[in-house]
Structure 1
């Protein structure tokens, strides 16, 4: 049997390779760079129970993903730092929406707390800058490279091979069905192709004429360091700015922009640098609201990309081109959703039964 080819070696692509191998499907993953060198390496790697607009089906998807992560965290295979997510209400006008999210998550069984303004001081914030906040204590972050290594080991223990430094340059079709791929090493017959190329997904879709409404947002990140140790949850503040601890005396500051209407298609290969205006935004937010970082200095920065969809849900499954599948548009929740998506897609490709509610929730055909 010709292999199913997975294009992209981030957390999504490697999790799909592992799931396909678990279902006995021969699979070959191609990554043109190093594994995890794209979006995964530049992400915060948060596992979120928090949702801006709580939805029961999305919660079930995350529960499915935690069935992969949870036991491995308990066994010590994967490291997980539980810091919690804090969604703040800076103004009185923000309170109804944040409290609505608190109620929605509570109804789903998520452990949540509403914190009045004075209680935010214990989370590292100036209580005078906020009206309160929603805290989800079970959220936390994983190590992206560790996740990828685990999935690669799982995949290669089965019928999977991993090829790095090899770019998929074209996908060949006959009579509306995928038959082969072209790389710098030649043409290879395949039984299917999975586009898990992250920000490069639109280019891979173009190989076969698949048109999906994918856009990009920039994800600038700065590394903030100070001499004294401190702790911060993943906190979402004004204008989608966020901060999160990283170790004892370091934090990340970024912008979690997932707004489709103002997004566009960007070239992820271009030389993208952090704008000076973002430094000013970070400095102003620290001065206004985060006293624990008042003496922090910036030591490093980078820009990542989120590939987003109109409704924030990924496009996962078969497309109008037979045997061409996508697992794209994770909208900043790649680590959170990857294992669940991988299991659903692998079952579809292997011809096994799937949870139709979850499969329909992420299906490319829904729009």
Structure 2
């Protein structure tokens, strides 16, 4: 009396052997004491024979780490009601029945997509805990194949906080293969400029890098120099890293291949003064006034050739401080009363963070009597 049971047991306790031993070869290592040498097999007489009676024995088991594809070949003496692919978790068995319909002397291959997690595959001569009926006979198992499935995802992406249209910037990202399946072929990571954090087909590709191979559980971190479009308007954008954009790798999931950066502020080519204190043309300005000029983006020192000149041609000694996007100009002596002064920013005296120089700029104001 025999019911054939194919069990996929989550976190099971079966004595596992290497799944590669189930492949037809001279190194077969099936567990159990059943006859594997006399069975007729299309794979050279090495099939695992189940016998013709119940024993409650586990004939073969192998540990697998999902996700992946499980394939195996079966043959039975008669047509069985079904064989069973099962899962068990937390000590409570949940049995799922898949009709397999074995027919006399006919080998058939079966394929199952296995979810992520640790599992045991087993070939048993043991009944499941539900009524199948009584079916005499014997069966054969051969050529078990476990094909792990990789899964690529982008873990992180970094970039500058600001940039100018048409400039080159460096993007760094980390890609991970989430499961224990080696990727031996190359795949491409592409970078896109987007108005939001979600990829769409109208996002503009701005660069790419190639990963030649990636082992299971491994990461690939690298930097790429990308070029921003020169025609984009100023504003906040996002850089998307899209791993395996060309679909070279068959993956467990395609829904986790894109990650967005934080916002990047795209500015004009040259930093521009957006606020001056005192404002241009101001009158009755205090003679000890500290002058500040605020730009539309963070700045850094260029030549620092900045001057403060009086209408009488005199040059006022000053010192300059840069903090973020603000240039501060201080003078130690009081300015002359009721005198027009001009702040002169010579071309290239400051730059933005991508080395674009400021254009020649002037701002004027007139002091009061005190």
Provide the TM-score with structure 2 as the length reference: 0.19
Instruction: Point out the structure with the larger strand share.
Output: 2
Instruction: Point out the structure with the larger helix share.
Output: 1
Q: Which structure has the larger Rg?
A: 2
Higher relative contact order (CA 8 A, sep 6+): 1
Provide the TM-score with structure 1 as the length reference: 0.19
